Amino acid sequence: MSTLFDLHSHSTASDGLLSPAHVATRAGERGVSHWALTDHDTLAGLDVARAAAEAAGVRFIHGVEISIVWEDVPIHIVGLGFDVTHPGLRAGLDGLRGGRLARARRMSDAFAAIGIPDVLEGALNYTETPEQISRAHFARYLVELGLFKDKGEVFEHYLTPGKPGYVQHRWASLDEAVGWIRAADGVAVVAHPGRYRMSGGQTQRFFAEFKDLGGAAIEVSCGSHTPDHVRHFAQQARRFGFYASQGSDFHGIETGRPDLGAFASLPEDLKPVWRLLGY
């Protein structure tokens, strides 16, 4: 049987559109043989996802995507293959989620100030877990209001640094995120490195610091990487001795967004991150 690892995806446990069980089923249908659910700052979907994956004949790997800020740049660190019961990891993630609703209120106030009222109330209709409220839910609501044609436009005009609905937030530090994952015997991975607004030199410093802290891998291939990104980050993986990860960053079946299993394959000379996960 051929293998296909998809090590980055989301469900309704954070800002995805499908339930954890539904993502598991779809992973199987899409030919994914080994799958990690990596919801933002939560482990809530993992038990259901594991059971559904096993029922669908898909090998399941515990995952999470942790929000951090490093040198004022919002960055995401994926954790894979950790012990889900680890108290330090769980406490760290609980703390992170605790700040989401407060940030969302400030975002909503910022929208009210520019004449768009009650955005938090609207956004909350898109999640069953208010503590998981995310910019993605704000974007879905603003698209529904008819102000924009898609979420990308909302992010571009309102939800990114410097734009009126963006609120700076204190997420975890790099040190904390990598520390929680490693304490729980997991593997720390830099998510979608092609998406950060950093200069080449800053990225080098970031990778060096991540490596010093015990970070093991970077996503070389993912749903948001162009062929140029794949080549560039493959080179960075070689240079820093990182293992290479891959994943769709699936959030739901949406036009123009990556489906499960849909990303370029890794250059053959790289060490795949699943070597660290027992595969």
Q: Which residues would be at the binding site for ligand AMP (CB under 6 A)?
A: 15, 40, 67, 134-136, 151-152, 155, 251
39 makes contact, choosing from ligand AMP, Mn ion, none, with CB < 5 to 8 Å by partner type, with: none
Alpha-carbon distances, residue 241 vs 215, 219, 274 (angstroms): 11, 13, 15
Which residues are CB-neighbours of 149 under 8 A, at least 6 positions away? 143
Task: By CB under 5 A, tell whether 26 contacts Mn ion.
Answer: no
| 232/210 Cα distance (integer angstroms) | 18
Question: Given the complex with ligand AMP, which of 51 and 69 has the nearer CB atom?
Answer: 69
152 makes contact, choosing from Mn ion, ligand AMP, none, with CB < 5 to 8 Å by partner type, with: ligand AMP
| Strand 217-222, strand 34-37: pairing | unpaired
Given 5, 7, 11, 15, the residue binding Mn ion (CB under 5 A):
15
Give the DSSP H/E element, type plus range, for residue 189: strand 187-190
Question: Given the complex with ligand AMP, which of 55 and 262 has the nearer CB atom?
Answer: 262
135 makes contact, choosing from Mn ion, ligand AMP, none, with CB < 5 to 8 Å by partner type, with: ligand AMP
Question: Given the complex with Mn ion, which of 16 and 272 has the nearer CB atom?
Answer: 16
97 makes contact, choosing from ligand AMP, Mn ion, none, with CB < 5 to 8 Å by partner type, with: none
Angle at 220 between CA 59 and CA 244, to 5 degrees: 55
Count Cβ atoms below 10 Å from residue 113 Cβ, excluding itself.
11
Least separation in angstroms between CB 51 and ligand AMP? 25
Cite the DSSP H helix spans in 114-226: 119-124, 135-144, 151-154, 174-183, 200-212
Least separation in angstroms between CB 40 and Mn ion? 6
Chain residues 66-85 in contact with Mn ion, contact rule CB under 5 A: 76
Binding residues (CB under 5 A) for Mn ion: these are 15, 65, 76, 191, 249
